[in-house]
Amino acid sequence: MKKILIALPIEENQRPWLEEQAAGGEACSFLYRTPDGVVPADMEGVQAVIGTISRKPIAAAKDLEWLQLSWAGADLFTAPGLLADNVILTNASGAYGLAVAEHMLATTLALMKRLHQYGRQQDAHVWELLGMVSSLEDATVLVLGLGDIGRYYARMANALGAHVIGVKRTPGEKPDYVEELYTLDALDAQLGRADVVAMVLPGGAQTEHIMDERRLRLMKQGAFLINDGRGGAIDPAGLKRVLADGLLGGVALDVTEPEPLPADDPLWDDPRVIITPHCSGKFLLPQTLERVVKLCGENLRRYTHGEPLLHIVNRQIGY
């Protein structure tokens, strides 16, 4: 009998549906915990974990065969030695596109319409025009990272009349809503064309500080930078120097380096910067949790029926 630990913030009425996915397969017993309530003692005899838990109890799971994350990002769990070689790691890629892309679109428009700056004026009870604004219609939007979230955002930007350039790590078929598609080796040549650079890259060595000061200075004067992928994809020192020189029109960061952003970091007080606390990809949108539970249920069915799992992470590259 397989012992499966479920660490998802699900309701009682969702449990029967999830367990039903294992019906007809190998017999299972289920242990439920909150995501932050799992301790090493809980891992005794556990063969599968569904949900993202801390690394300490994972290291104590001597019988673990499968770890299903409730996140899309898997880089925190690919460190050498954390998981035995035989453990299959899967993520929740595909569950977060709607929530994160809508957040990105909201911050893009807020920057272009200066809503964040008007918000500061409202706090100060100031009634004053702040000058010209811009539009997504006919703007050039470079989407850096064209996975599920990037495709969602690209489709939204295209629907609002933007010319969308996609840049991804590996070659692939170009979606209809992307006018141009390139790989990372073409990034430098494309940055200067974009009115908006929207980043949704995963973590890992290949993406660490991919937007360093040199690349930030390749961006168009007055362009907007959006990052909802990993904070480490932008060099924070370089970003501050570029902002100090007045190159960028605005920046929206849902992820930062480090996290949480220290209270004394000057980015908090920069009127061109929108900062949100890594909230776009949480379970704050009900549809996100529904999608995660559905994905986990499908993989549970596959696991108990001996079928190949979906969304297997390549632990060598972190996605």
pLDDT tier, 28 (very low <50, low <70, confident <90, very high otherwise): very high
Q: 117 pLDDT exceeds 80?
A: yes
Higher pLDDT, 167 or 12: 167
| Beta strand 66-68 pairing with 88-90 | parallel
Residues forming the active site: 230, 259, 278
Alpha-helical regions (H) of the chain? 15-20, 55-59, 97-113, 115-123, 148-159, 187-191, 213-216, 236-244, 286-304
Is residue 317's pLDDT more than 80? Answer: no
State how beta strands 196-199 and 48-50 pair: unpaired
Lowest mean pLDDT segment, chosen from 70-84, 182-196, 264-278, 291-305? 70-84
User: What's the pLDDT score for residue 144?
Assistant: 98
**Cα-Cα-Cα-Cα dihedral of 194, 200, 202, 208, to 10°?**
40
Going by C-alpha positions, the residue among 231, 283, 281, 282 that lies closest to residue 252 is 231
Instruction: Give residue 238's pLDDT.
Output: 98
User: What is the pLDDT, as a whole number, of residue 250?
Assistant: 98
**What pTM was computed for the model?**
0.94
User: Rounded to an integer, what distance in angstroms lies between the CA atom of residue 301 and that of residue 87?
Assistant: 17
Mean pLDDT within 93-119: 98
Q: What is the pLDDT of residue 310?
A: 97
Mean pLDDT of the chain: 96
Mean pLDDT of 52-62: 92
Predicted pLDDT of residue 179: 98
pLDDT score of 18 more than 90: yes
* pLDDT, tens digit, 9 for 90 and up, residues 275-305: 999 999 999 999 999 999 999 999 999 999 9
Q: Is the dihedral of CA 165, 166, 170, 173 positive or negative?
A: negative
pLDDT in tens, 198-222: 999 998 888 999 999 999 999 999 9
Confidence check: pLDDT of 318 > 90: no
Say how far apart CA 218 and CA 142 lie, in whole Å.
Answer: 13
pLDDT, one tens digit per residue, over 35-51 is: 999 999 999 999 999 99
